[in-house]
Structure formats: C-alpha cells, structure tokens
Amino acid sequence: MEFRTDRLLHGGDYNPEQWLDRPDILEKDIEMLKEAGCNAVSLGIFSWSTLEPEEGVFHFEWLEEIIDRLYANGISTILATPSGARPKWLAEKYPEVLRVDESRHRNLFGGRHNHCYTSPVYREKVALINRKLSERFGKHPGVILWHISNEYGGECHCPLCQDAFRGWLRERYQTIDRLNKCWNTTFWSHTYQSFDQVESPSRRGERELHGLNLDWKRFVTERTADFIRHEVEAIRAGGSTLPVTANLMYYFEQLDYFRLAKELDIVSWDNYPIWHKKELIETAYDAGMCHDLMRSLKRKPFFQMESCPSATNWQGVSKLKRPGVLFAQSMQVIAHGGEGALYFQIRQSQGASEKFHGAVIDHYGGTDTRVFREVSEVGAALKSLSELAGSTVNSKVAMLYDWNSQWAMNDSRGPRNDGLHYHEVLLKIYRAFRRRAVDVDLIDMEQELSGYRVLVLPMAYMFKAGFAEKVRAFVENGGVLITTYWSGIADDTDLCYLGGTPYGLMDVLGVRSTEIDGLFDWEKNRFVPVDGNALGLSKEYDCRYLCDLVELRGATPVMTYGSDFYEGYAALTVNRYGEGSAWYVAADADREFYADFIARVLQQNGIEGAVADEIPEGLEITTREKDGVRYYLYQNFGTQPVQIPLPQGAVEAVFGDPQKALKPCGLVVLKGGCK
Ligand code: GAL
C-alpha cells in the first residue's frame, strides 16, 4: 500500500480522551487547529482504557464523533492502534502480558511499552481491538493512515519469549553443533548439547558469547517485526486497506530499522533535536542525517510524526526553541524528502508525567502565544510548498549505516572499549558531502548499489555473506569506494575472518590490515601528505582513537602517519580496481581531513552537488525531484544572513527570495529542470 498525499502533513498527536468532560475545549481545539494550518492529527495512541474500559466492552462513539468533526473541518486522522500501553484490567487478569526483564523478574503494571510481544493473550487482545477499530474506521474518509502502536522498543525475557528464541535459533542453525561452531562456545566451556538449554543473555548469566548476544538482538528485532505484522494483519482482517506506519526513533540502537521498515508502508519518526546545546548547524547535520536514514529505510518519502513545538520536559534542561528554530526544524524535514511535520502534541496534558511537555496549545489555551504563532507560520509554509509532496531525493552517494556492525562492535572487547565513536565518524563524513551540497542515502548491506557513484563504508565491521562480492562488483563497474579501518573484520555470526582483512576486499583496496592501535583519549597522531599525491592534498590533519597499520598490496599511499613507531606507514591509500577506485582511510581522522578529502574525490570523479562550490558554513542545500522538476531547498542554520549560491541553469523561486540574503533559520526553495 502506497501512502500518497497531495499536501504536506501538518498536525500532531492529539489526545481528546483526556478532555472528554470538556466539550468546550474539544470544540475550541478544532478551531485552533484550523487556525494553525493543521491538516492531520494522530488519534488513539494511548486510548485503550477509554476504548475498552472493561474486557470486551468497547466504546468507540467518542472517537467517531471526533474523527467526524475533524474531517468536516478538513483535518484528517492518522489512527493509532492502542498497543503501546494497556489497561489495568488486562494486566491484572493476564499477568503474562507484562514484560520480564533480563534478571527474569516480571514488571508490575505501569508505564507504557511494558508488554511481551510473544504472549498469546496480548496478541489476541491487540488483534481484537485492532480489528474492531479497522471495521469501524478503516473506510472512514477522514482516516488516511494507520499508526501502529507507539515507538516500538524494549525486550522481554519471559518463558514464552525464551521458547520463541530457541525456535528462532533452531530455524537459523538447524543443528546445535552448528550453533556451537558459530558462537565459538568451546570458549570457557560453554558448549550446548541442545537448543533447549539456550537462554537469553543476562547480566546474571551468559554475556560472553558474542554470537548469542548478537542473535538475541536480531531476535528482538524479528519479534518486534512479527508483532507489527500481527497488528497489521488484524487491521486487514477488519477490512481496511489503508497504508500503515510506525513512529521510529532517533538512531535507535535496539532495533534494526531496515528490518522493521519492511513491515511498514511509509516510515515516520519522532524528531527531538537538542537545539541550542551546540551551534545550530551541528544539531542540524545530526538531525539531517537521521532524516536521510529514515528516508533511506525504504528509499521513499517519510515524515516526521512527532517533535516538540517548544521545549520537551525530558531533556536535561528544558530549553525553549529560539524564534525561528521550529520553522527551520520543520522545513528541514521537507528538505530531506519528508512529506510533513507533525508534533507531540496538540494540547498539553493537565496532569501526569507530560504536563510540562511543550504543545501547540498550552495550559493557557489561547492562540496569542509565541509558540502558536510559530506553529501557524509552519502551517502556512507547508501549504505553500504542497507541490513538493511526492517528490523524492535522488542521491548519488550511499553510506553504510549498519545496525549489526554496531551491535557487534559495541559488544566486543577491544580494540577500544573507551569508545569507537561510530556515530561521530559517520557524521564527519556526512558533513563533508553536505558541505558540497551532495545528498546522501544511508543504506544497509542488502540494498541495491546500482545508481550510486560513491559508496562509503565507515567501520563496516561485520560483512554479511555476499557483501564483499557486491562491493567488488560496484568498484569494478566504476564506483568509488571509501572504506575505513575496522571493516570486514567478522562474518555475520561475529566469527573473525581468517586469512586477512578487510575480508574479501584486500585486492580491491590493495591493502591488508595488520594491527590496530588504540589511542588514549588525549593522544593524537597525524595524517601527513605524500609529495605529489593523487589528490593534491597538502595539509596535515589530526587523527585519534584508532590507527590501523596496513601492509600495502598494490595500493598507493596518499597520506602517511606523522609520528609514533608507525610514522611513515600509509594512513590513506587508493587503489584502482576495474573501472573504479577504492580508498582506505586507516584512522579516525578529523573533520577537516574529511572535508578536503571528500571534496577532492568528488571533484576528481566529476560528481557535482546542487551547486558548484563549497557552500557557506551554516547553509544546508538539499534537492528533491518529481516529474522532471528539481527542487533546491536552502536553509540557513548559521548565525548570519548569507547570499545563497545559485544552481546552474534556469531556476524560479517557489518560496522566499533568492536574491536577498537568507536570514538565519530562513528557507528558500527554487525549482528548475532535472539534470
Ligand atoms: C515520544 C513519545 C510520545 C511522547 C513524547 C514526548 O517519545 O512517542 O508519546 O511521550 O516522546 O517527547
């Protein structure tokens, strides 16, 4: 099911069940929503106890009335399934629905996301209410999309989940001997005689078998995906054919979102950047990369399901967004290929733990607030950008974002338990492309590589079977590969490759990694340019944390280390392979290195960004395409107005004035023909 919209969505989570005794407020809310230019709300996310106050007794009339009224006022509903939090009666009557933690204790009732994904009772109760919601609302013209549960996360170690885990392992390994081999269980005498003996990892028990830890994480993702599928099947059984989404989270480590996205028709995510802790542009790159990840999960448009219109109440310090920042944050979603910006939440709750969380309508309840005015500005801008709906980002650069490698690297002991800085490394590389106005996709090992010109593999620790061959073919056919240290180290059961690494790519890269040096936090080494190097690099750059020592097997050194016993060893190399080239970055080099290195690699390969040169610091430029039209979105995350560099060829303005200096937090959108 495709999610298609001819407008950009604007609205947010709305909890009318908290205000059913205040019809005056509910009525006023609709007027205010219209005034703020909202066209969609998410309903029912945590409404189970109002929808089914007693087992088998359903009350949907209040919801229907609200959906009807919203629809009559031009506001669509994104309807949630209520599985994110359960009613007290359910947990009391069927304690098995509550989660068991890794120490094997069952939780008490409370909170949310506190349920077992395996429990047949929980599955039955969720299926029943989902089916009924689908029967009642699945064909309502005001309902446009299903919001499955809320921010899936967490794990359960109950006996039912243990059994399911064993079943999953049986299917994966077939024989216990194979499992023992893949997990290297002879280490510390942890060999299993049968699948029935396997237990989920626990601090009170087994934590040293990295294959077990890794498979448990994969199983948790599979269980969650299976639960989503179960929820969606119930919706389909109720007759609705509407598309489904689930709200994902910021670089959420626990679940492999590439896997989860397969169960969804459109990806959405909850975007809560911590503005004002660093310079705006720093936070903007971080949020922008996450938007790009979310878009890349399905290589399709996505949207922002939640974000705070002012200050959240769960960050260390509840900092207000400075004027204009909400606008910039919302427009950034669109700039990176999003189909709308929604908030948490429309109306602030009066009590309980989110009573001080920012909202479109606060406790005061009027439209004459700064936040309401800024939300309305976003609404007006989204309306005037409607023609961008359905356009896509067409990136020439793909960077690997790999959950499996992160899980395995973070679990392993060495080469640096004091931090591998995976996220920071990706961000440095990402930033270098973005400074050249080059759009970037973040992909996993399964995605198709054709269509990309550059493939970046930062710390691609774990290679899935067949991945090295895929990368080889990419380079052979003319692709540019950039690989860093700590890549191709282990297979996908976390067994280290024998015979040299980066596994399967030593000839493509022309190097073999021999040893890797961990540096203390305060230590540094240097990248020193080789005279007359292929890229014309002439500066020195710092590097830290990890320094890989490579043996050259055909590659040309471009930079070398500047100190220590490995002074003069290659630190950056290039190798021609087939029609393409393969770069190896041996250490965690600094931001300036990546900026210069990537700029030159792009130039050398004739890969152009949206504009010709490096863009002014603070500016973000992204592109979207539709029906032969290319949109250029400029955002200023800097502190000073900037004159924007124009793309080549004729363009016309869709939003803002390209001739005037672009103010901080401002937006200009241009359009021209696709190249
Ligand atoms: C999200 C969650 C919302 C709300 C919000 C507060 O993670 O989905 O229900 O709690 O955080 O920022």
Give distance in angstroms: CA of 13 to centre of ligand 1.
9
Q: Is 134 in the pocket of ligand 1 (CB under 6 A)?
A: no
Q: Is residue 241 part of a domain?
A: yes
Give distance in angstroms: CA of 344 to centre of ligand 1.
7
Q: What is the mean pLDDT of residues 339-368?
A: 97
Q: What is the mean pLDDT of residues 598-618?
A: 94
Q: In the annotation, is 231 catalytic?
A: no
Does the structure show a pLDDT above 90 at 220?
yes
**Mean of all residue pLDDT scores within the chain:** 97
DSSP letter (8 states) at residue 219? H
Domain count, the chain: 4
CATH of the domain at 438: 3.40.50.880
Q: Which of 18, 151, 310, 348 should be mutated for ligand 1, with most atoms under 8 A from CB?
A: 151
Does the structure show a pLDDT above 80 at 675?
no
Q: Is residue 42 part of a domain?
A: yes
Q: Is 375 helix (H, G, I), strand (E, B) or coil?
A: helix
| Closest ligand 1 atom to 249 CA | 7
DSSP letter (8 states) at residue 518? E
Q: Is residue 438 part of a domain?
A: yes
Q: Is 344 in the pocket of ligand 1 (CB under 6 A)?
A: yes
Q: Is residue 1 part of a domain?
A: no
**H/E element holding 226?**
helix 210-237
* Residues belonging to the chain: 675
CA distance 223 to 239: 25
Strand 454-457, strand 76-80: pairing: unpaired
Q: Is 150 in the pocket of ligand 1 (CB under 6 A)?
A: yes
Buried b (16+ CB within 10 A) or exposed e, 233-265: ebbbebebebbbbbbbbebbebbbbbbbbebbb
Does the structure show a pLDDT above 90 at 650?
no
Does the structure show a pLDDT above 90 at 613?
no
Give distance in angstroms: CA of 351 to centre of ligand 1.
15
Task: Say if residue 14 is in the same domain as residue 105.
Answer: yes
Q: Which of 270, 315, 343 should be mutated for ligand 1, with most atoms under 8 A from CB?
A: 270
- Of 455, 437, 365, the C-alpha closest to 401 is 455
26-44 pLDDT tens trace: 999 999 999 999 999 999 9
CATH of the domain at 642: 2.60.40
Does the structure show a pLDDT above 90 at 612?
no
Which of 212, 232, 253 is the last residue before a domain boundary? 212
Which of 388, 417, 440 is the last residue before a domain boundary? 388
Task: Say if residue 206 is in the same domain as residue 222.
Answer: no
Strand 587-589, strand 511-518: pairing: unpaired
Task: Say if residue 204 is in the same domain as residue 316.
Answer: no
Task: Say if residue 103 is in the same domain as residue 58.
Answer: yes
Does the structure show a pLDDT above 90 at 5?
no
pLDDT of residue 614: 85
| Closest ligand 1 atom to 272 CA | 12
Task: Say if residue 585 is in the same domain as residue 638.
Answer: no
Task: Say if residue 546 is in the same domain as residue 647.
Answer: no
Q: Is 357 in the pocket of ligand 1 (CB under 6 A)?
A: yes
CA distance 42 to 143: 10
Task: Say if residue 56 is in the same domain as residue 25.
Answer: yes
1 band by pLDDT with thresholds 50, 70 and 90:
confident
Q: What is the mean pLDDT of residues 393-416?
A: 97
CATH of the domain at 264: 3.20.20.80
pLDDT of residue 218: 98
Instruction: Give residue 669's region: left, alpha or beta (phi > 0; psi -120 to 50).
Output: beta
Q: Which of 348, 354, 360 should be mutated for ligand 1, with most atoms under 8 A from CB?
A: 354
pLDDT of residue 4: 83
Task: Say if residue 194 is in the same domain as residue 238.
Answer: no
The per-residue DSSP string of 165-210 comes to HHHHHHHHHSSHHHHHHHHTTTGGG---SSGGG-----TTS----H
Q: In the annotation, is 151 catalytic?
A: yes
- Of 508, 408, 529, 514, the C-alpha closest to 459 is 408
pLDDT of residue 674: 84
Q: What percent of the chain has pLDDT over 70?
A: 100
Task: Say if residue 554 is in the same domain as residue 655.
Answer: no
Q: What is the mean pLDDT of residues 79-85?
A: 97
Which stretches of 261-348 are DSSP H helices?
280-298, 325-335
Domain coverage including residue 181: 159-212
Task: Say if residue 325 is in the same domain as residue 261.
Answer: yes
DSSP bridge pairs for 653? 670
Burial of 314 (0-12, 13-18, 19+ CB in 10 A): exposed
Give distance in angstroms: CA of 307 to centre of ligand 1.
8
Q: Which of 306, 319, 348 should be mutated for ligand 1, with most atoms under 8 A from CB?
A: 306
DSSP bridge pairs for 655? 669
- Of 95, 124, 126, the C-alpha closest to 109 is 95
Give distance in angstroms: CA of 251 to centre of ligand 1.
15
Q: Is residue 609 part of a domain?
A: no
Looking at 155, 306, 339, 374, which residue is catalytic?
A: 306
504 band by pLDDT with thresholds 50, 70 and 90:
very high
Q: Nearest C-alpha to atom 4 of ligand 1 is from which residue?
A: 344
Q: Is residue 504 part of a domain?
A: yes
Q: Is residue 614 part of a domain?
A: no
Number of Cβ within a 10 Å radius of residue 24: 8
Task: Say if residue 233 is in the same domain as residue 196.
Answer: no
pLDDT of residue 562: 98
Q: Which residue has the tokens 């067409």?
A: 394
Q: How far is CA 156 from CA 97, 197, 370, in A?
A: 10, 18, 43
Q: Is 52 in the pocket of ligand 1 (CB under 6 A)?
A: no
Which of 604, 631, 660 is the last residue before a domain boundary? 604
Q: What percent of the chain has pLDDT over 90?
A: 98
pLDDT of residue 147: 98
Q: Is 468 helix (H, G, I), strand (E, B) or coil?
A: helix
Q: What is the mean pLDDT of residues 251-260?
A: 98
Q: Is 151 in the pocket of ligand 1 (CB under 6 A)?
A: yes
Task: Say if residue 108 is in the same domain as residue 32.
Answer: yes
Q: Is residue 596 part of a domain?
A: yes
